[in-house]
Amino acid sequence: MKKLIRLGLTVLFLTITLFGQSKYLQFSGKFDRETVHRGETVTLTLDVKINRGFHVYSVHPELSLSPTSFDWSDTLFFKTIGILQEPDPELKFDENFNQTIGIHEGRFKITQQLIVADDVKTGLHELTGTLTYLACDATRCIPQWDDYTLSLKVEDGPAREQYISAVETVYPTAGNPDKADEGGNKSESEFDEAIHQGLWSFLLLAFTMGLLVLLTPCVFPMIPITISFFTQQGEKEGSKPVKSAAVYALGIVIIYSAVGMLLSVTLGASGANMIASNPWVNLFIASLFIVFTLSLFGMFELQLPSSLRQYSLNKEQKGGMLGVLFMAFTFTLTSFTCTVQFVGLLLVAASRGAFFWPLIGMIAFSSAFALPFFFLALFPQYLSKLPKSGGWLNSVKVVMGFVIAAAAMKFLGNVSMVWGWGFFDRQLVLAVWVALAILLALYLLGKITLPHDSKLEAVGVPRFILAIIVLSFGFYLAAGLFGGPLSGTINTYLPPAEAAANPSSSGAGNAQIVENWYSDLDLALETAQKENRPVFLEFSGYTCTNCKWMDSNILSDSRVKALLHNFILVKLYTDLGDDARKNQLIQSDRYNTVALPFYAVLSQTGETIATLPGLDRDVNHFISFLEKGKLN
């Protein structure tokens, strides 16, 4: 019956077009790169802009009797032609056809993955494709066939691993529109919905997400760094606290937004994660933290190189505005792993050529978490100007130095995992922390003095109580050296119990949470079909602080572990290892995000039932998420 209706509509629409054709939309297309090797996957992106008052149908065959399609003239150029991927269409029930249809209005993007055939000749090829669609308004539908030519250069050489990925060739079941929020990507729906509602709605969502970042553990190390740095700034003659704090906060916003966009355009959506997990970046941050520690202990005064310092003075930026901007840059590097699900979506959008919404989203997002650090930079500078502040304020700087030294161990642990040092493991980091806690307690009690300390006549009650707390914490950490349990928050900053000397082993360091984790999604789906069980999929990272927090606090919960026994378990690492690039593509292609961690429940056939993006501190949310997958 549907075929007859489709044939009748085609005849009718052909008759209509005999009386006049016009352009109802504009579109442009491009490949994700200009040169390819045989056997590689290349992605086509079509940017479609529909004229006001018209709409086109979804590309999904189940959501239209005449779906929008893009057909290639030379079908032999690609050995595999993937399905068209589209943003969520607007779903409506059409009484004439007695079915739910999906439509698009305004501007949207269509993507298609293709695998270059093995027998294609070397050289530049002109490829012709045709966009077929129905341009409909309230009274009529007009069929259109718009031809388009794209260039693609084929070079000799084997297919490169980073460009090899599976291509979906079968459209998934469209599903029930009434349950659209239960499956698919919740974050993407929020993202698209906020854009649809307008600029202010989108900015509010971005700002709210930025505030949530302040609750994530990898932002915490920047708190003592900020306080100690600006305490020293305030001690300088002629310093301007409000100006310094404003430059710091504004620098965070500008640098964070610019670096995020630049990495997305040059390295792809996962560029920020690649930088955050890079061993040289982690080594740089750890070294910087150690230098700060030694400076706070009084070993030397931290200053810019003389040439930059003179340039700063010449520009009448006394107080070191260049140094303040350098601190903002450091903040950006350390906070990249806390960009939750919202920025993951923005990075994907930016890597695919959209710039307006990602840029303003990044600015609003970074403004939210920069705001509290404005005040953290402002208050220490005023405190340092109080009369007789020298003695006790120097003690505050030394205490911050101990905290920063402890934070440096986290980044050195990341370097150790990547480079396989072996010796710099969980036990060593705990031992260093215990030593720092004991030394800090002795310092607070006046048993250790440093170069800029004033003579301590007596230990005050607050100082004595703080020494007791620090020493008790040191004993608590010492228990962990001998196998005692530690809180999930502390485990977040420690290397895994079984450090991943070789990151290509995807389950290393996390197998103690739930056994039998798969590191290959296809193999897991095969097992799921044999055992008739759903799949629990986790995208994680070896150096991802939020991932380790979720592993230690949520996935280790007894109720969660009991539910996970009902699933086939898959953990895909996207930051390190032989399969990292492949896993990145799986995450970005399926869910349009690269944020870590990211969780999904799949059916036995690989269809997404539910997703849970980012860090979530409420274990009940995670249990509800798993129950939803279990029931399906």
Please state the pTM of the whole predicted model. 0.51
Region class of 532: left (phi > 0), else alpha (psi between -120 and 50), else beta: left
- pLDDT for residue 267 is more than 60: no
- pLDDT for residue 124 is more than 90: yes
- Residues 342 and 410 both lie in one domain: yes
- Distance of alpha carbon 580 from alpha carbon 519, whole angstroms: 11
Query: pLDDT tens, 433-476?
Result: 999 999 999 988 888 888 777 777 778 888 899 999 999 999 99
Q: Which residue type does 541 have?
A: G
How far CA 417 is from CA of 330, 423, 434, 498, 584, in Å, comes to 22, 10, 21, 10, 19
- Which segment, 44-58, 246-260, 415-429, is predicted with the most confidence on average? 44-58
Lowest model confidence (mean pLDDT) among 3-12, 171-180, 207-216: 3-12
- The pLDDT assigned to 355 comes to 66
215-231 mean pLDDT: 72
- The pLDDT assigned to 410 comes to 81
Domain count, the chain: 3
Pairing status of strand 123-136 against strand 141-155 = antiparallel
- pLDDT for residue 93 is more than 90: no
List the end-to-end C-alpha distance of the chain, in Å, as a whole number.
Answer: 32
Query: pLDDT tens, 332-366?
Result: 777 766 665 556 556 655 555 556 777 777 888 88
481-503 mean pLDDT: 68
Lowest model confidence (mean pLDDT) among 115-119, 181-185, 389-393, 520-524: 181-185
- As a whole number, the mean pLDDT across the chain is 75
DSSP 385: T
Token code pair at residue 121: 């000749």
- Residues 214 and 301 both lie in one domain: yes
- The pLDDT assigned to 215 comes to 66
- Distance of alpha carbon 69 from alpha carbon 537, whole angstroms: 31
- Distance of alpha carbon 66 from alpha carbon 46, whole angstroms: 19
- The pLDDT assigned to 19 comes to 32
- Whether 56 is in a domain gets the answer yes
Alpha helices in 221-270 (DSSP H): 222-235, 241-267
- Residues 421 and 327 both lie in one domain: yes
- Residues 283 and 418 both lie in one domain: yes
- The pLDDT assigned to 386 comes to 55
**DSSP codes joined into one string, 356-411:** HHHHHHHHHHHHHHHHHHHHHHHHHHHHTTSTT-HHHHHHHHHHHHHHHHHHHHHH
Residue 120 vs residue 584, higher pLDDT: 120
- Whether 486 is in a domain gets the answer no
CB within 8 A of 414, min separation 6: which ones? 277, 279, 282, 542, 543
- Residues 328 and 234 both lie in one domain: yes
Query: pLDDT tens, 128-167?
Result: 988 988 888 777 778 888 888 999 999 999 998 888 887 8
Token code pair at residue 443: 């310092």
- Residues 273 and 307 both lie in one domain: yes
| Side-by-side strand order, sheet with 141-155 | 35-37, 141-155, 123-136, 69-72
What whole-number percentage of the chain has pLDDT above 70?
73
Q: Which residue has the tokens 């970042």?
A: 213
Lowest model confidence (mean pLDDT) among 259-273, 291-305, 570-584: 259-273
**Predicted confidence band at 217 (pLDDT cuts at 50, 70, 90)?**
low
- Residues 207 and 81 both lie in one domain: no
- Distance of alpha carbon 365 from alpha carbon 614, whole angstroms: 15
- Distance of alpha carbon 418 from alpha carbon 420, whole angstroms: 6
- Whether 469 is in a domain gets the answer no
- pLDDT for residue 22 is more than 70: no
Query: How many CA atoms does the CB half-sphere of 586 hold within 13 Å?
Result: 24
Lowest model confidence (mean pLDDT) among 39-53, 164-178, 318-332, 404-418: 164-178
How far CA 464 is from CA of 397, 443, 446, 460, in Å, comes to 17, 11, 10, 6
Does residue 597 have a cis peptide bond before it, meaning omega lies within 30 degrees of 0?
yes
- Residues 158 and 203 both lie in one domain: no
- Whether 349 is in a domain gets the answer yes
- Whether 378 is in a domain gets the answer yes
DSSP 62: G
Q: What SS3 string covers 510-542?
A: CCCCCCCEECCHHHHHHHHHHHCCCEEEEEECC
- Whether 444 is in a domain gets the answer no
| The last residue of a domain, from among 177, 208, 224 | 177
- The pLDDT assigned to 40 comes to 92
Query: pLDDT tens, 106-117?
Result: 888 999 999 999
How far CA 58 is from CA of 6, 69, 109, in Å, comes to 15, 9, 12
The answer to whether residues 510 and 556 touch, using CB atoms and an 8 Å cutoff, is no
- Whether 76 is in a domain gets the answer yes
Strand, helix or coil at 42?
strand
- Distance of alpha carbon 579 from alpha carbon 577, whole angstroms: 6
- pLDDT for residue 513 is more than 60: no
- Residues 159 and 206 both lie in one domain: no
Lowest model confidence (mean pLDDT) among 150-164, 179-193, 396-410: 179-193
- Which segment, 29-33, 301-305, 322-326, 343-347, is predicted with the most confidence on average? 29-33
- Residues 13 and 119 both lie in one domain: yes
Kindly report the CATH number assigned to the domain that includes residue 534.
Answer: 3.40.30.10
- The pLDDT assigned to 2 comes to 46
Query: pLDDT tens, 539-550?
Result: 888 777 778 888
- pLDDT for residue 232 is more than 80: no
| The last residue of a domain, from among 410, 425, 440 | 425
Residues in the chain, total: 632
**Predicted confidence band at 284 (pLDDT cuts at 50, 70, 90)?**
confident
The Cβ of residue 155 has, within 10 Å, a number of other Cβ atoms equal to: 11
Kindly report the CATH number assigned to the domain that includes residue 79.
Answer: 2.60.40.1250
- Distance of alpha carbon 509 from alpha carbon 423, whole angstroms: 15
- Which segment, 238-247, 285-294, 317-326, 523-532, is predicted with the most confidence on average? 523-532
- The pLDDT assigned to 308 comes to 47
**Predicted confidence band at 274 (pLDDT cuts at 50, 70, 90)?**
low
Residue 417 vs residue 556, higher pLDDT: 556
- Distance of alpha carbon 547 from alpha carbon 563, whole angstroms: 19
- The pLDDT assigned to 151 comes to 92
- pLDDT for residue 34 is more than 80: yes
Q: Which residue type does 423 have?
A: F
- Residues 26 and 74 both lie in one domain: yes
- pLDDT for residue 5 is more than 60: no
**Structural domain that includes position 65:** 2-177
Residue 253 vs residue 271, higher pLDDT: 253
- The pLDDT assigned to 114 comes to 92
- Distance of alpha carbon 301 from alpha carbon 497, whole angstroms: 38
- Residues 128 and 252 both lie in one domain: no
- Whether 240 is in a domain gets the answer yes
Nearest CA among 353, 342, 330 for reference residue 268: 353
The Cβ of residue 278 has, within 10 Å, a number of other Cβ atoms equal to: 18
